[in-house]
Amino acid sequence: MAVFTQVTLLQAQALIDQLNLGQVLALKGIEGGIENTNYFLDCTGADTQASQPQHFVLTLFERLGKEELPFYLHLMKHLANKGIPVPDPQVNAQGDLLFEVAGKPAALVNRLSGKSHLQPNEKHCATVAQMLAKMHLAGQDYALIQPNLRGLNWWLETAPSILEFLDEDNQALLKQEMAFQVNLAQTSQYASLPKGAIHADLFRDNVMFEGEQLTGFFDFYFAGTDAWLFDVAVCLNDWCIDLESGTIDQERMQAFLKAYQLERPFTTQERRLFHPLLRAAALRFWISRLWDFYLPRQADLLKAHDPKHFERILKLRAQSPLSDSPF
């Protein structure tokens, strides 16, 4: 989240009028993230006499096109209707989810309660894993399909633009890992992995808790149709590691995997490809962080993530596969 496009109170009020949500009370840009413009927006709601304001998040989409956005917005609506705690896109009288604010595609979703746990324990990891599995199953009958836009094709397109910024060792690492993942994607084992709608970016800061009670997953704007195991791997590389070293915390990983499998047991092929998908998840975020770090866009409140974090994680996953495997 960041502020690439400034939104005025008048522009925000025009959207609130379309949604019949009363009067805007507050509008504040959100710091963090690197993709879209985000604001906290408070308003009176349709009942202007209500004592409590309603809290929302306004998102202006900076990179995604109007043809791509229905997948994300309708996915959130689908999951919310299935009881998964996710931001619920607001609709107008015609049922529209997507609007225009300050010349950009925009959406308004309810703001989740709670806060992120940036130092999760085993209980947090288990709770996230159980809800992730429920989310995967709830999305099985979601009708829209859209490839993971930050998947292998994007890695192949993006890697050449960042190679010049790397030293020889990291150039070799990037080329080696790209070749590994290209070969993996061509195998029948990979093709047989269960697939569906995935979040694809479910880091610690994209989950809300009140105490140890999970109150929601948010920021679905990297979601796509891909292997469920990739979603699991993305989570494990964040929720179940020591942030300083990148090493996996075995207790947290076991708690995560046990809880996930209570809702959806892993297939034989998923168990076999567990470690290669951990490498894939690390590679994806190393490439994206290199891209954002060396080829940044201008934005208010923008703070690019340090790519060295996922460089460390990728090297560990590539060098010590046996120590990472829980099976």
> What is the per-residue pLDDT across 244-296, written as a single tens digit (0 to 9) for each?
999 999 999 999 999 999 999 999 999 999 999 999 999 999 999 999 999 98
Residue 1 in domain = no
Locate 79 and state its tokens. Answer: 């999951």
Domain count for the chain? 2
CATH code: domain of residue 156 = 3.90.1200.10
Q: Which residues contact 252 (CB under 8 A, 6 or more apart)?
A: 120, 121, 122, 125, 239, 240
Under 8 Å between Cβ of 27 and 9? yes
| Whether residue 247 sits in one domain with residue 310 | yes
| Strand ranges, E, within 14-124 | 24-29, 37-43, 54-60, 99-101, 104-110
Under 8 Å between Cβ of 56 and 38? no
Residue 2 in domain = no
Per-residue pLDDT, 301:
44
Per-residue pLDDT, 1:
44
Which pTM was predicted? 0.92
Per-residue pLDDT, 326:
77
> Each residue's pLDDT tens digit in the chain (327 positions)?
468 899 999 999 999 999 999 999 999 999 865 689 999 999 999 876 667 899 999 999 998 888 999 999 999 999 999 999 999 999 999 999 999 999 999 999 999 999 999 999 999 999 999 999 999 999 999 999 999 999 999 999 999 999 999 999 999 999 999 999 999 999 999 999 999 999 999 999 999 999 889 999 999 999 999 999 999 999 999 999 999 999 999 999 999 999 999 999 999 999 999 999 999 999 999 999 999 999 987 654 456 789 999 999 999 999 876 555 676
215 DSSP assignment: E
CATH code: domain of residue 61 = 3.30.200.20
- Tell me the C-alpha distance between 23 and 13, whole Å: 7
Residue 232 in domain = yes
| Whether residue 151 sits in one domain with residue 295 | yes
| Whether residue 139 sits in one domain with residue 85 | no
Per-residue b or e along 265-296, where b marks 16 or more CB atoms closer than 10 Å to that residue's CB: ebeebbeebbbbbbbbbbbbbbbbbbbbbeee
**Domain-ending residue, one of 61, 77, 110:** 110
Residue 3 in domain = no
**Domain-ending residue, one of 110, 143, 164:** 110
Measured distance between the N- and C-terminal CA atoms of the chain, rounded to whole angstroms: 36
Residue 214 in domain = yes
What are the C-alpha distances in Å from 279 to residues 30, 69, 250, 311?
31, 28, 17, 11
| Whether residue 170 sits in one domain with residue 104 | no
Q: Give per-residue pLDDT as tens, 233-250.
A: 999 999 999 999 999 999
Residue 115 in domain = no
221 DSSP assignment: T
52 DSSP assignment: S
- Tell me the C-alpha distance between 325 and 199, whole Å: 23
Residue 309 in domain = yes
| Whether residue 179 sits in one domain with residue 98 | no
What range defines the domain where residue 66 resides?
9-110
Per-residue pLDDT, 296:
85
**Domain-ending residue, one of 110, 133, 153:** 110
Per-residue pLDDT, 47:
74
| Whether residue 26 sits in one domain with residue 145 | no
| Whether residue 127 sits in one domain with residue 247 | yes
| Whether residue 63 sits in one domain with residue 178 | no
Which residue carries 């919310």 as its tokens?
Answer: 80
| Whether residue 19 sits in one domain with residue 143 | no
- Tell me the C-alpha distance between 278 and 268, whole Å: 16
Locate 104 and state its tokens. Answer: 């950009």
Locate 43 and state its tokens. Answer: 């308003």
Per-residue pLDDT, 142:
98
| Whether residue 133 sits in one domain with residue 78 | no
| Whether residue 264 sits in one domain with residue 290 | yes
Residue 117 in domain = no
| Whether residue 146 sits in one domain with residue 92 | no
